[in-house]
Amino acid sequence: MGHIILRLDRVMADRKMSLKELSDRVGVSNVNLSKMKTGKISAIRFSTLEAICEALSCQPGDILEYSPDGEQ
């Protein structure tokens, strides 16, 4: 079975945005954003995803990637 890979770190680097700045813009704690960056979450609210996409001027597909059969 495949899984979802979070590419938040890549998009943040492309936008040159720090964790603290994104946290302030989105209203999500540094700790929770850090967990998202490292992929250590099992779910994300659409409202949080929308806020992140707005802050980073990106699409959900820029942050989320599907990996079939557990490929990296």
CA 3 to chain centre: 15
The whole-model pTM stands at: 0.87
CB atoms < 10 A from the CB of 32, how many? 14
Superfamily for 3-67?
Answer: lambda repressor-like DNA-binding domains (1.10.260.40)
Amino acid at 54: E
Tens-level pLDDT at each residue, the chain (72 residues): 788 899 999 999 999 999 999 999 999 999 999 999 888 898 999 999 999 999 999 999 999 999 897 555
Contacts of 32 (CB under 8 A, 6+ apart): 41
Domain boundaries, the chain: 3-67
